[in-house]
């Protein structure tokens, strides 16, 4: 993206982020229904990684400033409790984990739930997506960027580390075979 931050630049970024958001939401819903089966954790790792890429693009961009410095009303966001519950059921053995919320300010670990983190991210993303779908890409970008720094970026990062730990642990905890006598 160029440094000019023209409306076309913002529209291009909004389109890219919207694509990541739609993929994340679709993937999360599929996992919550049980469609991923034994691939639940790897698929969630992939979905979270891809949406974090969108967050990094927002973080690397100039601040999005709304012309009137206010967000237009779009009504209530959809209820994602069924997705949260479905994820909690799929992740029952590893839903709870601990994380240091801010490695520069916190000294004590905080308990988290993957199902909550993943849906908290989805809630922030869907709110911006609704702006985007109403042909307000600047409002969508503003919301996604603001909520990335303020909320969903931290939860996505924490979820990514937890999912990575599960997969890395499974792949690296290989039992060595005893040497053959002879």
The residue range of the domain holding 121 is 7-172
Q: Which helix (H) or strand (E) holds 68?
A: none
- Is residue 11 in a domain? yes
Work out the pLDDT band at 13, boundaries 50, 70, 90: very high
Number of other CB atoms surrounding residue 45 within 10 Å = 18
Task: Give me the count of residues in the chain.
Answer: 182
Task: Answer positive or negative: Cα dihedral of 124, 126, 129, 134.
Answer: negative
Residue 145 lies in a domain: yes
Query: What does pLDDT average to over the chain?
Result: 90
Q: What is the pLDDT of residues 96-137, one digit of tens each?
A: 999 877 778 878 888 999 999 999 999 999 999 999 999 999
Cα-based angle 164, 161, 131 (whole degrees, multiple of 5): 110
∠ Cα 120 121 123 (to 5°): 65
Q: What pLDDT, on a 0 to 100 scale, did the predictor assign at position 1? A: 42
Which pLDDT belongs to residue 2?
41
User: d(Cα 26, Cα 109) in Å, to the nearest integer?
Assistant: 31
pLDDT digits (tens, 9 = 90+) for 14-27: 999 999 999 999 99
pLDDT at 93 over 80: yes
Q: Centre a 10 Å sphere on the Cβ of residue 74 and count the other Cβ atoms it contains.
A: 15
93 inside domain? yes
Give the CATH number of the domain where residue 155 resides: 1.20.120
The residue among 110, 117, 111 whose CA lies nearest residue 87 is 117
Q: Which pLDDT band holds residue 175 (cuts at 50, 70, 90)?
A: low
| Inside any domain, residue 47 | yes
Give the count of domains, the chain.
Answer: 1
Q: Which pTM does this prediction carry?
A: 0.86
Instruction: Quote the percentage of the chain above a pLDDT of 70.
Output: 91
Summarize the confidence of residues 155-168 as an average pLDDT.
95
Q: If you average pLDDT over residues 5-22, what whole number do you get?
A: 89
**Residue 154, CA distances (Å) to 41, 101, 117 in order:** 19, 8, 9
Q: What's the pLDDT band for 85 if we cut at 50, 70, 90?
A: very high
Quick one: pLDDT at residue 73?
A: 79
DSSP 75: -
- Residue 99: inside a domain: yes
Look at residue 123 and give its three-state secondary structure: helix
Inform me whether the pLDDT recorded for 180 exceeds 90: no
Q: Check pLDDT > 60 for residue 176.
A: no
pLDDT at 86: 97
């Amino acid at each position: 993206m160029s440094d000019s931050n023209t409306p076309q630049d913002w529209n291009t970024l909004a389109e890219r982020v919207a694509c990541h958001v739609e993929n994340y939401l679709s993937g999360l819903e599929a996992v919550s229904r049980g469609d991923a089966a034994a691939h639940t954790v790897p698929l969630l790792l992939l979905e979270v990684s891809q949406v974090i890429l969108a967050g990094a693009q927002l973080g690397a961009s100039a601040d999005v400033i709304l012309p009137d410095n206010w967000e237009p009303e779009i009504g209530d966001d959809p209820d994602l409790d069924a997705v949260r519950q479905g994820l909690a059921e799929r992740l029952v053995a590893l839903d709870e984990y601990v994380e240091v919320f801010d490695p520069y300010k916190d000294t004590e670990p905080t308990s988290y739930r993957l199902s909550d983190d993943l849906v908290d991210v989805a809630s922030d993303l869907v709110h911006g997506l609704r702006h985007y779908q109403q042909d307000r890409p600047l409002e969508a970008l503003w919301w996604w960027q603001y909520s990335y720094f303020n909320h969903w970026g931290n939860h996505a990062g924490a979820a990514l580390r937890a999912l990575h730990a599960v997969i890395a642990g499974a792949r690296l905890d290989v039992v060595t075979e005893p040497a053959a006598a002879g």
